[in-house]
Structure 1
Amino acid sequence: MIVRPAHWKDYALLDAGDGKRLERFGKVVTVRPDPFALWPPTTPHAWKQADAVFVPTGKTRGRWELESHVPSKWTLRYQSDRLDLTFNLEMTQFKHVGIFPEQAANWEFLAERLNPGDRFLNLFAYTGGASLAALQVGADVVHCDAIRQVVDWTRMNMERSGLDGIRWVVEDAMKFARREAKRGKTYHGIVLDPPTWGLGPKGEKWKLESMLQSLIDVVAELVEPGGFVVMNTYSGIPSSALATMWSLALPDATVQSGELCLPMASGHDLATGSLVRVVRG
């Protein structure tokens, strides 16, 4: 299964190649590293329009080289038949700008399946695209991330989108999920995007490969009958492996797996990560 976003107007993947991607976020055109862009650029002349280029200075960090007219902060709007969301973007030292545009495909998936009043949990929630999508269709949203700054970023996105009412949880996602399971809490929809590695707010160490089975087991306890889970990861773990793990954890569920991709202007796809969608019977 290859899943692509289909409704972007303010974002486009203009080209990719030589380990980089050329993207348009509103009126700002950026160049960022991408390890899956293994081919030569398909439209070399297009790269001359870049306004901002990310230059790595280490394994995980770098700096942006900007044209003089380029803002360091701006907004981006996402519109479809179901959703109308606005995001605050900013060029960070980690190459990210505050949104993963491929995730729009998952926003539509959950917006189609949530009804007003349904309980929805977003774990490892980053700047909250899924949280905003769920909130806009009337769900009761819990947004959990260990980093205060990105939770505050989501709050600004919520306000910019004219929404209100998210429950914020600044905590290690695994700890929160385990506590919710002990309380007997369940959710109709759960989205999780666990990082490959990281630290919690109190220095808790996280390594996905060693924690993955425990994470899936506890989240399986939290999804109510008839509910769904969307899990994706940028860690390189094959989607087929994730699908097997979820099928074992929830034998009554329907499990689909594949790649989350961004379509290039040339019509080709750039893979971004592994995706699993689980619908419980």
Structure 2
Amino acid sequence: MAELVETPVVMAGAAWDDYGLIDSGDGRKLERYGPHRFIRPDTQALWRPRLERWASDGEFVPGSDEDGGGRWQFAHPVPQEGWPLAWNEVRFTASCTPFRHLGFFPDMAPVWDWMGEQLEGRGDAATMNLFGYTGVGTLALSRFGPVTHVDASKKSVAQARANAALAGMDDRPVRWIVDDAAKFAAREVRRGKRYDGIILDPPKFGRGPEGEVWRLEEHLPGLIEHCRALLDDDSRFLFLTVYAVRMSSLALAGLLDEVFADLPGRIEHGDLAMREEGEGGRLLPTAIFARWSNPG
């Protein structure tokens, strides 16, 4: 039976060559993405900025509604088609999207490292990335074996393929699937498929390619049950992240504790966060997570 660790864990991301959290405060954050700097809103930056002035190439100004909206305002020219960045061996394109982010989630870097640790020494591990977006996590997993990448957005999957080509990884064994993640996982169960690891990053609300409606609180338990059916005693991990919800990581851990009760290993939960650059850099929380790991 998997052990539930009730004490929360903080998975803190640090700066690397092509990304850094420079400063945060007053509901905003200043970040560097390669040669460019941007300001984006962040309601969890409740403190005051450390720097007196923020110089940036652009700022995302949010709309008046809580659930999104807004637009970019640029102080300097920024390539509309994007520009290349790298995380370890993975190269990909960053760009200013209408959804306030830059085409990838830098706070996932410690998760990519953690997944690699779970699969260390295995060159044939079959993994799946549900809600895989532009594929940086998929490409990080591809060094360990075949990956199934699933996202409902045809545009996101096309960008993921382009990132694979940019990284020189388009010959790696990745299945690129445009589909509703929940429906695809259910079909994989019916096919009798098995995976060594699964990562999923479901939205609060979304729609599949055929208009399927996804509501996190309503549909997540069933999806986790399907993921459990795709794992076994020899599998290594499941990693679940959730953004922008009024929910505790304990709730996610409780769900995994119930569904994974018959498997060995341990269940942990907590916050993802990014640490500001420089001495005394603060931790800016970004998401909650729950994870199951099985060292075997």
Query: TM-score normalized by structure 2?
Result: 0.89
Structure with higher strand content: 1
Partner of 2:175: 167
Partner of 2:248: 238
Partner of 1:229: 238
Partner of 1:269: 283
- Paired residues in the alignment total 274
Alignment of 1:110-259 (within 5 A): 110-114=115-119, 115-135=122-142, 137-164=143-170, 165-227=173-235, 228-236=237-245, 237-251=247-261, 252=263, 253-259=265-271
Q: What letter corresponds to residue 39 of structure 2 in structure 1?
A: V
Q: What letter corresponds to residue 235 of structure 1 in structure 2?
A: A
Shift of 1:275: 1.3
Taking the aligned partners of 2:113 and 2:221, their CA distance within structure 1 comes to 27
Q: Is the 8 A contact 1:234 1:274 kept in 2?
A: yes
Taking the aligned partners of 2:135 and 2:105, their CA distance within structure 1 comes to 10
Partner of 1:77: 86
Alignment of 1:39-50 (within 5 A): 39-45=47-53, 47=54, 49-50=55-56
Report the 3-state secondary structure (helix = DSSP H, G, I; strand = E; otherwise coil) of the residue aligned with 2:272.
strand
1:107 matches 2:107: no
User: 1:7/1:176 Cα in 2 relative to 1: closer, same or farther (>3 Å)?
Assistant: same
Q: What letter corresponds to residue 58 of structure 2 in structure 1?
A: A
Q: Which has the higher contact order (CA 8 A, sep 6+)?
A: 2
Shift of 1:221: 0.9
Q: What letter corresponds to residue 125 of structure 1 in structure 2?
A: G
Q: Which runs of 5+ in 2 are unaligned?
A: 1-8
Shift of 1:217: 1.1
Q: Once the two structures are aligned, what percentage of the paired residues are identical? A: 38
Shift of 1:3: 0.4
Shift of 1:58: 5.0
Taking the aligned partners of 2:149 and 2:198, their CA distance within structure 1 comes to 10
Q: Which runs of 5+ in 1 are unaligned?
A: none
Shift of 1:61: 2.3
Q: What letter corresponds to residue 279 of structure 1 in structure 2?
A: S
Q: Deviations over 1:117-153 (max 9, x none)?
A: 1111000111112100011x23101000000000011
Q: What letter corresponds to residue 5 of structure 1 in structure 2?
A: G
Report the 3-state secondary structure (helix = DSSP H, G, I; strand = E; otherwise coil) of the residue aligned with 2:50.
coil
Report the 3-state secondary structure (helix = DSSP H, G, I; strand = E; otherwise coil) of the residue aligned with 1:168.
strand
Taking the aligned partners of 1:240 and 1:18, their CA distance within structure 2 comes to 28
Q: Is the 8 A contact 2:83 2:93 kept in 1?
A: yes
Q: Is the 8 A contact 1:36 1:270 kept in 2?
A: yes
Q: What letter corresponds to residue 152 of structure 1 in structure 2?
A: A
Shift of 1:7: 6.3
